[in-house]
Amino acid sequence: MGKIDISEFHDITKFISENKNILWNLSPKELIDHTLKLKMGNLTDNGALAIDTGKFTGRSPKDRFIVKDNTTLKSVDWGIINQPIDEKNYQSLKSGLLNYLKNKIIYGRNAHACADPKFQLNIRLISEYPWSNLFGYNMFLRPEEGEFKKTSNEWTILCAPGFKSKEPKKYGINEENFSIINFTERVILIGGTGYTGEIKKGIFSVLNFILPKKNQVLSMHCSANSGVNGDTALFFGLSGTGKTTLSADPSRKLIGDDEHGWSKNTIFNFEGGCYAKCINLSKESEPDIFAAIKQGALLENIILKKNNEVDFEDSSKTENTRVSYPIYHIKNIAQPSLGKSPKNIFFLTADAFGVLPPISKLTTNQAMYHFISGYTSKIAGTEEGIIEPQATFSACFGAPFMPLHPTVYAKMLGKKMDEENVKVWLINTGWSGGEYGEGERISLKYTRAIINDVINNLTDFNFTEHPIFKLNMPNKCKNVPTEILNPINTWKDKNKYMLQSKKLAALFHSNFTKVKSSVNQKSDINLTQLKNITLGGPKI
């Protein structure tokens, strides 16, 4: 990066106000035209813009940092996820990035986060590339003309994929790329990576720090929809568990597909768009998402066939092919993106061990336990070296974006469950009748029927307790074969099922032991509560 004069362009506000090279609030068509003119993308046969994000086709969690200062010192749950960077190094990188951008034609956008006006966050996105700015148009809330007004609650994102640190270790980072959040300055720096998800998840991390602390709003990595009577359902889950798929229900209005806040009596979308994986996407499997890929949508790292037709099955660049589009590309949406407090919450897990039931009802302590755990599994073949199912735990189903200790969010969830009589269900969208490679994946048709049964109160449930996980498993469910509801019934070798259950239970315990060991002044749960939550886990 060379020697840096940290006094020049140190003030971002001054840089923005005096910079005549910023093209502000261009329309999607204008941004697409700029991208094509710069030879940075291609139009697909359905009018969407296809681009490559470069070296990075996903987030780089090892290169994400938070400035450690008086604002964050005692609040952030520091560790391998929330890595600290000191103020001096941040200022040096910021100055270098601003110097890099100062003589370039760049793109500015005014936007919002949070559909509930009470919690609105103003955003200024300054991007080196026009398609990064199109992503901001798609994913953030779009203010009406004259609606955007400067407030103290304003954040700036500086996104420069072409700016790479030549001496990363000198500036307290690991590689040439970085994503840094400064909560005091209200700035997000993104350098050296074109992956647009860094923009979206940067603001999500900001809201996950601000809203619980100041407003007692539970910030959540989940999708949400509502029925004709205004009943809201939330869907939590890591990648591949069906969060986006199951929330896209033609009989219910989509509130949002990924990030939400839960205030006293309202669920509100943080975003103004959707960012969906599109590997193996088809009109038959995902009709709403498929139809949303049209003019204005931004496709990332996909392969084009002849005549610029998208090959959704080709993963030669990455398994993480993506599309962003404004939420109005979906027909059946809530307008504005708000709903009442949820009646039902679904924790989705793709259990490749074949152990967990397709549906179980959770007590408050069990819900907090599984929320803190955030379990799903990786399967053989998805990553090099994986030859059997591997358990993956991500606290609150979104650990990379949670600056506070996971128990802060878990306590808020438990309190809201009890105060508002919310039901929480664990849904296994993974395997049954054996682990991955032996059993079969639970039919999406059955999972949809289960969700529909719960939401519409089609069955008066009675339950059987799972012998290891102590989960309350319904004995019947409308339009679902009774024999699959208790997973041991689907295994030929019952002893093997019990051994597999105990194996997974031990992995849960090992993960939760790490959580318990980190409970300190940053936690929001006392030792008695922690003991009760621990009882919500499986038996050894």
Tokens at 105, concatenated: 């034609």
Tokens at 169, concatenated: 């270790």
Q: Is 64 a catalytic residue?
A: no
The SS3 call for residue 523 is coil
- Report the candidate in 255, 216, 206, 204 with the shortest Cα–Cα distance to residue 233: 255
Q: Select which of 94, 201, 411, 416 is catalytic.
A: 201
Q: Select which of 71, 75, 239, 363 is catalytic.
A: 239
Angle between helix 406-420 and helix 527-534 axes, rounded to 10 deg? 80
- Report the candidate in 97, 69, 67, 71 with the shortest Cα–Cα distance to residue 83: 67
Q: Select which of 243, 252, 253, 343 is catalytic.
A: 243
Q: Is 360 a catalytic residue?
A: no
Helices (H) and strands (E) in the chain, counts: 12, 30
Taking the C-alpha atoms of residue 226 and residue 338, their distance in angstroms, rounded to an integer, is: 9
The DSSP symbol for 443 reads P
Q: Select which of 34, 59, 124, 252 is catalytic.
A: 59
Q: Is 322 a catalytic residue?
A: yes
User: CA 379, 380, 382, 385 torsion: positive or negative?
Assistant: positive
Q: Is 282 a catalytic residue?
A: no
Q: Is 164 a catalytic residue?
A: no
- Report the candidate in 269, 150, 293, 299 with the shortest Cα–Cα distance to residue 203: 269
The DSSP symbol for 211 reads I
Map 265-323 to HEC letters. Answer: CEEEECCCEEEEECCCCCCCCCHHHHHHCCCCCEEECCEECHHHCEECCCCCCCCCCEE
- Report the candidate in 450, 431, 268, 281 with the shortest Cα–Cα distance to residue 356: 431
Those residues with Cβ within 8 angstroms of residue 29's Cβ, 6 or more apart along the chain or in another chain: 295
Tokens at 197, concatenated: 């998800």
Q: Is 68 a catalytic residue?
A: no
Virtual torsion, Cα 63, 270, 154, 141, nearest 10 deg: 110
298-300/322-326 β-pairing? antiparallel
Length of the chain: 540
Q: Select which of 231, 249, 257, 258 is catalytic.
A: 258
Q: Is 214 a catalytic residue?
A: no
Q: Is 258 a catalytic residue?
A: yes
Q: Select which of 322, 329, 370, 405 is catalytic.
A: 322
State CA 288 to chain mean position distance. 19
CA distances (Å), origin 15, targets 110, 158, 475: 16, 11, 64
Q: Which residues does the annotation mark as catalytic?
A: 59, 201, 221, 239, 243-244, 258, 322
